[in-house]
């Protein structure tokens, strides 16, 4: 009961804040201004600006560059993985080397659960800059390693923790600064990660061929330090932390957040299936290695544009509705193309549409959480949802490999792994249907309402 009352108090406080967007008006209209400012980091005591101001777009640009760097470098690990497997640690199992990428992804997403409380206490700028320092240092240290466990510790664990301090605040901060253009702003920031994946993968490959993997790591560390270090300096909170702080337990136990978390969990148990196995499926039907690998490029390109379009379209259709439709379409497509069509044309269509729709959770989830909890609580709520997603990655990636190895590879098939992907997407769709039912039940709206 106490947790419910606390969350209700925060919601009420948020409503009051949202109805008075001009927080920089007069001191007489802000009796609690001094008390709110005492809770903020020093760089955020300069006053709160109005939503949709020019500075709001500065935040979007900076956040987009930060996701561009962190997600781009994280997604370029595939290049390093290939090099480690074939040249540095050829006698070590691929499963052992895969722990570098697994820990990086899990901690980048799961570590976000701590970024909400940290940004509330120290400010977005301080947390992002600390994350930049940790990420840069991790890549620098990785360039001096001579054992696999050292790479797991630096390029995997350390970089994952640092990137969590950059990624989660970058995704959630634009929601505080935008009201009219919130979907577009969030989509642009999310698209930065997709674009970074394409650019940094190509850059990393070129550098590996010319200067070697150790100097490539050092170059990436310098790029990240310069770009993210500069962008993080412009981070700034627009809204004050609610008096008394945020009741983390009350937010985490909210059944609506649990439904969003379940949706993210199920998506991430199967999200990487096509990235890992669609090129292999293309090879099986006689396509060249280059043509097969291009399917991953198509998915990344679709992901980049899809994150912007999904956020923009959700402004008219509703973010919850958008997730339901997107995951339902992906579930049908993956089943039909992988089991029935089995042609390169079908694989290309699947790669583009899947990339556009399935990654929409990256840009739409912040909108869903902002609509439910408000911009003041979105960082905390997003961190909790990312924790759900990280558990999905931790369970999904090893499970996919085991399923393919045990059921599909011996018979030269993709049926089992396709069923796993189909099931995950269907369960994610059902999770968002549950969320919509919970929201309509509280607001007395209909299930067909735009939500």
Give per-residue pLDDT as tens, 316-357: 888 999 999 999 999 999 999 988 888 899 999 999 999 899
- pLDDT surpasses 60 at 362: yes
User: What pLDDT, on the 0 to 100 scale, is given for residue 309?
Assistant: 87
Pick the more confident residue, 155 or 446.
155
Cα–Cα distance for residue pair 368/264, rounded to 1 Å: 12
Pick the more confident residue, 222 or 443.
222
Q: What is the mean pLDDT of residues 199-220?
A: 92
- pLDDT surpasses 90 at 272: no
Cα–Cα distance for residue pair 170/173, rounded to 1 Å: 6
User: What pLDDT, on the 0 to 100 scale, is given for residue 49?
Assistant: 67
Lowest mean pLDDT: which of 174-183, 290-299, 345-354, 418-427?
290-299
Three-class secondary structure of residue 421 per DSSP:
helix
Band of the pLDDT at 13, cuts 50, 70, 90?
very low
Q: How many other β-carbons are positioned within 10 Å of the β-carbon of residue 271?
A: 25
Pick the more confident residue, 115 or 418.
418
**Closest by alpha carbon to 224, among 353, 67, 441, 360?**
67
Tokens of 287: 């396509």
What single DSSP character describes residue 237? -
Share of the chain above pLDDT 70, in %: 88
- Check: CB of residue 250 under 8 Å from CB of residue 3: yes
Cα–Cα distance for residue pair 380/145, rounded to 1 Å: 35
Tokens of 244: 């008394």
- Check: CB of residue 163 under 8 Å from CB of residue 74: yes
| pLDDT tens column, 406-436 | 898 888 888 999 999 999 999 999 999 999 9
Give CA 122 to chain center in angstroms: 22
Cα–Cα distance for residue pair 374/178, rounded to 1 Å: 12
Return left, alpha or beta for 73; rule: phi > 0 is left, psi -120 to 50 is alpha, else beta: alpha
**Closest by alpha carbon to 171, among 193, 198, 156?**
193
Residue in this structure with the two tokens 């004050």, named with its chain if needed: 240
Tokens of 368: 């869903």
- Neighbouring residues of 146: CB distance < 8 A, sequence distance ≥ 6: none
For the entire predicted model, the pTM comes to: 0.78
User: What pLDDT, on the 0 to 100 scale, is given for residue 442?
Assistant: 79
Cα–Cα distance for residue pair 219/217, rounded to 1 Å: 5
The three-point CA angle 113-115-121 to 5° equals: 130
**Closest by alpha carbon to 344, among 279, 296, 299, 297?**
279
Band of the pLDDT at 3, cuts 50, 70, 90?
very low
User: What pLDDT, on the 0 to 100 scale, is given for residue 129?
Assistant: 97
- Check: CB of residue 336 under 8 Å from CB of residue 214: no
User: What pLDDT, on the 0 to 100 scale, is given for residue 48?
Assistant: 59
User: What pLDDT, on the 0 to 100 scale, is given for residue 262?
Assistant: 96
User: What pLDDT, on the 0 to 100 scale, is given for residue 78?
Assistant: 79
């Amino acid at each position: 009961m106490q947790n419910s009352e606390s969350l209700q108090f925060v919601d009420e406080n948020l409503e009051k804040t949202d109805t008075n967007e001009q927080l920089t008006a007069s001191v007489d209209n802000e009796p609690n201004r001094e008390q709110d400012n005492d809770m903020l980091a020093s760089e955020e005591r300069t006053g709160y600006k109005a939503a949709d101001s020019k500075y709001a777009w500065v935040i979007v640009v900076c956040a987009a560059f930060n996701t561009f760097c962190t997600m781009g470098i994280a997604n370029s690990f595939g290049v390093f993985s290939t090099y480690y497997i074939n040249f540095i640690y050829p006698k070590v199992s691929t499963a052992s080397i895969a722990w570098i990428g697994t820990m990086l992804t899990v901690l980048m997403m799961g570590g976000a659960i701590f970024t909400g409380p940290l940004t509330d206490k120290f400010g977005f700028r301080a947390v992002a800059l600390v994350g930049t320092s940790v990420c840069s240092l991790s890549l620098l240290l990785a360039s001096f390693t001579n054992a696999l466990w050292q790479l797991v510790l630096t390029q995997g664990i350390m970089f994952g923790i640092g990137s969590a301090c950059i990624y989660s605040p970058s995704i959630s901060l634009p929601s505080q600064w935008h009201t009219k253009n919130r979907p577009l702003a969030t989509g642009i920031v999310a698209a930065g990660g997709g674009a970074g994946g394409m650019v940094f993968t190509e850059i990393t490959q070129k550098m590996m061929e010319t200067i070697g993997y150790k100097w490539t790591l050092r170059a990436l560390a310098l790029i990240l330090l310069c770009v993210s270090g500069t962008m993080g300096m412009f981070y700034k909170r627009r809204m004050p932390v609610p008096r008394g702080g945020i009741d983390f337990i009350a937010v985490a136990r909210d059944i609506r957040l649990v439904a969003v978390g379940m949706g993210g969990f199920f998506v991430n148990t199967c999200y990487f299936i096509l990235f890992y196995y669609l090129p292999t499926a293309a090879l099986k039907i006689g396509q060249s290695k280059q043509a097969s690998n291009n399917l991953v490029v198509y998915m990344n390109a679709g992901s980049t544009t899809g994150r912007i379009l999904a956020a923009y379209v959700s402004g008219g259709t509703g973010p919850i509705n958008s997730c339901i439709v997107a995951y339902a379409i992906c579930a049908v497509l993956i089943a039909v193309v992988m089991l029935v069509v089995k042609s390169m044309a079908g694989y290309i269509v699947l790669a583009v549409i899947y990339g556009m729709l399935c990654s929409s959770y990256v840009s739409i989830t912040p909108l869903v959480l902002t609509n439910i909890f408000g911009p003041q609580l979105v960082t905390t709520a997003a961190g909790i949802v990312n924790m759900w997603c990280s558990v999905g990655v931790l369970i999904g990636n090893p499970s996919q490999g085991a399923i393919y190895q045990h059921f599909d590879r011996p018979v030269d098939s993709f049926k089992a792994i396709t069923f796993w992907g189909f099931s995950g997407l269907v369960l994610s769709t059902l999770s968002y249907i549950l969320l919509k039912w919970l929201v309509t039940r509280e607001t007395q709206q209909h299930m067909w309402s735009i939500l």
